Amino acid sequence: MSMKINRLEIENVKRIKAVKIEPRESGLTLIGGNNNQGKTSVLDSIAWALGGERFKPSQATREGSVIPPNLHIVMNNGLVVERKGKNSALKVTDPNGNKGGQQLLNEFVEQLALDLPKFMESSGKEKAQTLLQIIGVGDQLVQLEKEEKELYQERLYVGRTADQKEKFAKEQPYFPEAPKDLISPSDLIRQQQEILARNGDNQRKRENLHKLEQDYQKINDALSELLAKQKKIEEDLRIARLSATDLQDESTAELEDSISNIEEINRKVRANLDKEKAEDDAKGYRSQYNELTEKINDLRSKKNSLLDSAELPLPELSVADGELIYKGQKWDNMSGSERLKVSTAIVRKLNPDCGFVLLDKLEQMDMETLKEFGLWLESEGLQAIATRVSTGDECSIIIEDGYVAGQEHPQPEQKKEWKAGAF
């Protein structure tokens, strides 16, 4: 059974003179009144009585009072909590008359239930961490998110690089007529030199023929004198003619053109190679990007499975990117009622034995929000004691000048005056 407050009596605490309240068992008990009447003092008194010395107000005793604070709270299981006397000593008594102390209270009182605004005012990440820790998946989720962040950053770099490579590849010129490989100038020059050597040999043969023809002409002029020599020259001439008849010079025009244009050809070849490399690089990075995307999606799936399998305080409550998410909205986009629901549900999850929460300053909430929050509390069997600067009908109790409006006020204490010799 979750613990709730059945009845509370407070005297001389901060602005409270004397207050008796019986909160609703479930739902919202709204304490109203104008400013500086003692509304917040009621909540501070409950927190002090149940939460211990860390919640004790810095000036606990009501200003002007000669009687120390007196706090008396009865829980729904019959447990009685008291603080009274000069030192406000704690006394805890169970229904059987057994005595206890702060340790007994700590077993069912959740600290955040006594100061819910502290949780509500914490950062988004702090709220999320609180939730993850109480459902037991905080460490696992932190590791998964760390891995996701690392993969995301890696993918971001790879994706940007792929985009750059693709853009660079598109901007590169391409020459389909260019050969696949670079042309070597030395090979072309060697081929040219071989042809020139063969052509030079042909030229020498032509020159030899010309010389023999000249000689022949001279011999003919001196035929009578050179008959013997004529026969030899005729033979040489016959042989020379046979050797030169089928000679045909090879053209070096194509090679000469290639040599003269080699730089332009090779420029095109290099451009084509650069474009192909850029395209290959882009494909490689795009493939890496897709692989990283798959890994990130896998991690996100694991995170979702982890949260889906966890016992969350509220339906549609989750954590994404280190932030609380309720009904698809982050904290700053939640309504006031939704924020109260989330905070109260998380506090209850922290300690299921604690069936109540204290809330201060609900005047920022409209009537519809208050009603909605109250109905949700009732449906969950939770008790909330809250304050609001108002004297309207929405308030269960009105505090005026340290008293509950409409309650019979005790007579103000009289400070005793001592006279010398009088007893």
Average pLDDT estimate for 278-297: 89
CA dist., res. 396 & res. 306, Å (int): 42
Beta bridge partners of 84: 89
386-395: pLDDT as tens digits = 999 999 999 9
Q: What is the pLDDT of residue 249?
A: 74
Q: What is the pLDDT of residue 49?
A: 93
256-275: pLDDT as tens digits = 777 778 888 888 888 888 88
196-231: pLDDT as tens digits = 888 888 888 888 888 887 877 776 776 666 566 767
Q: Per-residue confidence at 122, pLDDT binned at 50, 70, 90? A: confident
Where residue 322 falls (left for φ over 0; alpha for ψ -120 to 50; beta otherwise) is left
Q: What is the pLDDT of residue 144?
A: 79
423 has pLDDT over 60: no
Q: What is the pLDDT of residue 224?
A: 66
123 has pLDDT over 50: yes
42 has pLDDT over 80: yes
Q: Per-residue confidence at 413, pLDDT binned at 50, 70, 90? A: low
Q: What is the pLDDT of residue 264?
A: 81
What's the fold here for domain 5-109+351-404? Rossmann fold (3.40.50)
Residue pair 335/327 in contact (Cβ under 8 Å)? The answer is no
Q: What is the pLDDT of residue 363?
A: 84
311-367: pLDDT as tens digits = 778 888 888 777 888 898 998 898 888 888 888 888 888 888 888 998 888 887 888
Nearest to 16 by CA among 52, 58, 64, 87: 64
- Min mean pLDDT across 155-164, 244-253, 262-271 is at 244-253
Q: What is the pLDDT of residue 324?
A: 85
Domain ranges of the chain: 5-109+351-404, 185-270
297-313: pLDDT as tens digits = 888 788 777 666 667 78
Q: What is the pLDDT of residue 121?
A: 80
Average pLDDT estimate for 56-71: 92
Average pLDDT estimate for 55-83: 92
| Three state DSSP letters for the chain | CCECEEEEEEEEECCEEEEEECCCCCEEEEEEECCCCCHHHHHHHHHHHHHCHHHCCCCCECCCCCCCCEEEEEECCCCEEEEECCCCEEEEECCCCCEECHHHHHCCCCHHHHCHHHHHCCCHHHHHHHHHHHCCCHHHHHHHHHHHHHHHHHHHHHHHHHHHHHHHHHHCCCCCCCCCCCCCHHHHHHHHHHHHHHHHHHHHHHHHHHHHHHHHHHHHHCCCCCHHHHHHHHHHHHHHHHHHHCCCCCCCHHHHHHHHHHHHHHHHHHHHHHHHHHHHHHHHHHHHHHHHHHHHHHHHHHHHHHHHHCCCCCCCEEEECCEEEECCEEHHHCCHHHHHHHHHHHHHHHCCCECEEEECCCCCCCHHHHHHHHHHHHHHCCEEEEEEEECCCCCCEEEECCEECCCCCCCCCCCCCCCCCCC
| Percent of the chain predicted with pLDDT > 70 | 91
Q: What is the pLDDT of residue 32?
A: 94
CA dist., res. 110 & res. 355, Å (int): 9
Q: What is the pLDDT of residue 417?
A: 52
